[in-house]
Amino acid sequence: MKTSIAKRVLAVAAAGLISVSAVAQDKASSLDQLLKMVQDSKVAESAEHKKREADFRRQKANQAGLLTQAENTRTSEEARSAALEKKYEEQELLVQQKRQQLDDRLGSLKELFGHLTSTAGDLRANLDTSLVSAQYPGRAEFLDQLIDKMNSATKLPTIKEIERLWYELQRETVESGKVVKFNGTVILPDGEQAEQEVVRIGNFNLVSNGKYLEMNDNQKMAELIRQPDGKYLSMAADLQASTSGFSPVGIDPTGPTGGSYLKAMIASPSIIERWHQGGIVGYVISAVGAIALLLALWRLVVLSGVGAKVNAQLRSTTPNTNNPLGRVLAVAEENKGVDGETLELKMEEAVLKERPAIESGLNLLKIIAMVAPLLGLLGTVTGMIITFQAITIFGAGDPKAMAGGISSALVTTVLGLVVAIPTVLLHTIVNGRAKRILHILDEQSAGIVAENAERK
């Protein structure tokens, strides 16, 4: 019986009915003591459960009060919302009446304000790019305030403000036709700022210390990093130094619209820069062209000297060995007693000996004239390959970059033609000089052979 009771007590303990307490922490020495500990634990748990039940009932009562309070608040807010909606509808009707009253009182002024707003907007857009703003800054701020006021439903522009708008229109027109000097802050290419005297040429250009200026994004005057040709800079310096009269100066006709023409002209590469765009192939073509030019000039000088000596020999009866004709005549003098065929062979041999020296360099000039265009084509093809490789990698989203690459590739073709055309002309001139001398040699040798045959 005791064993059965012990098993039941252990089963209850394993099911978790025994709570942890100060008494349960002690070890039971017998089954009776263990039973006593279980009874005490049940009593403690019953008291705790009653306490929790009382707390729950108390909280339930509080929640009921809070719920009642929330329902009362909702009812009052709904009533307040209905009142606000009614008031809003009344105010909306009142606003419409006031607007209608305002429109009726404005009458034709409403159309006038529309024109004023449009005019002020156009003027503000012009002032953003106007060079006159460099001398008179801050004009756009007034226009912004005026436009905001005319677009407002509660404000009206004053007569003074409308008159100032008219004044700004007139001042922009008048100042666009003036050439004036004023002092201002100029941003130099190195980032430093300096107070300088600035000359404003109407609404076209700004110049200072012989340099052209621009208006940057912050409406500040900045010196152009790249300047136009030196003649334009000298004219700008002369204009700034002049006090009266007329001074020629280069102006940008697109100045009032942002100066796109001057920027494009400055951005255009110079001849030296275009030459460098040819790369290694361009340098090779230039070197070959220089060789052809020097060779042609050297041969022209030599053949001119030889031609002068040959002409002198034609006027002389005594052979002179300092020229080809004299040496050919000397051979004839040495072979006076030989038969006609032998003399003819001797004369042909003498002319053949003179021919290489006279025709020296002609073949090289011809080769250069033929090779230069081919080198230009080689440079163009390699440049196009590089350009299309870049397009493959980066895409063709920038037409300017693609056109710039193709333009650089075509530079070598231009260089090849620039070298080939003068080389062909020089070769023709040099070859004509050489053929003239050879013709004289052939003519004189044939005449000597003919005279010898007549004597026989």
**Residue for token digits 């003179």?**
354
CA dihedral sign of residues 359, 364, 368, 370: positive
For the stretch 265-314, pLDDT in tens is 777 777 888 888 888 999 999 999 999 999 999 999 999 999 999 888 88
pLDDT at position 388: 80
How much is the mean pLDDT over the chain? 82
The domains of the chain are located at: 2-75, 107-176, 180-267, 277-455
For the stretch 315-357, pLDDT in tens is 887 888 888 888 888 888 888 777 778 888 888 888 899 899 9
- Classify residue 90 by its DSSP letter: H
Question: Percentage of the chain with pLDDT > 90?
Answer: 20
Is 15 in a helix, a strand, or coil? coil
**Residue for token digits 């263990």?**
34
pLDDT at position 297: 94
Separation of alpha carbons 372 and 351, rounded Å: 33
In this predicted structure, the answer to whether residue 399 has a pLDDT above a threshold of 60 is yes
For the stretch 8-35, pLDDT in tens is 444 444 444 434 334 444 455 777 776 7
pLDDT at position 272: 85
pLDDT at position 293: 95
pLDDT at position 428: 94
**3-class SS shares of the chain: helix, strand, coil, % to 5:** 70, 5, 20
pLDDT at position 322: 87
Report which of residues 113 and 107 the model is more confident about: 113
- Ranges 166-180, 240-254, 338-352, most confident: 166-180
Which tokens is 442 given?
């052939």
C-alpha distance from residue 45 to each of 18, 31, 447 (Å): 9, 21, 154
Name residue 226's beta-bridge partners. Answer: none
- Give burial (CB, 10 Å; 0-12/13-18/19+) of 339: exposed
Q: Lowest mean pLDDT of 47-61, 63-77, 101-115, 410-424, name the range.
A: 101-115
Name residue 197's beta-bridge partners. Answer: 183
In this predicted structure, the answer to whether residue 4 has a pLDDT above a threshold of 60 is no
Separation of alpha carbons 43 and 127, rounded Å: 94
For the stretch 356-382, pLDDT in tens is 999 999 999 999 999 999 999 998 888
In this predicted structure, the answer to whether residue 127 has a pLDDT above a threshold of 80 is yes
pLDDT at position 275: 86
Give φ, ψ of 335 to 5 degrees: -120, 45
* Confidence label for 401 from pLDDT (cuts 50, 70 and 90): low
* Confidence label for 53 from pLDDT (cuts 50, 70 and 90): confident
pLDDT at position 373: 93
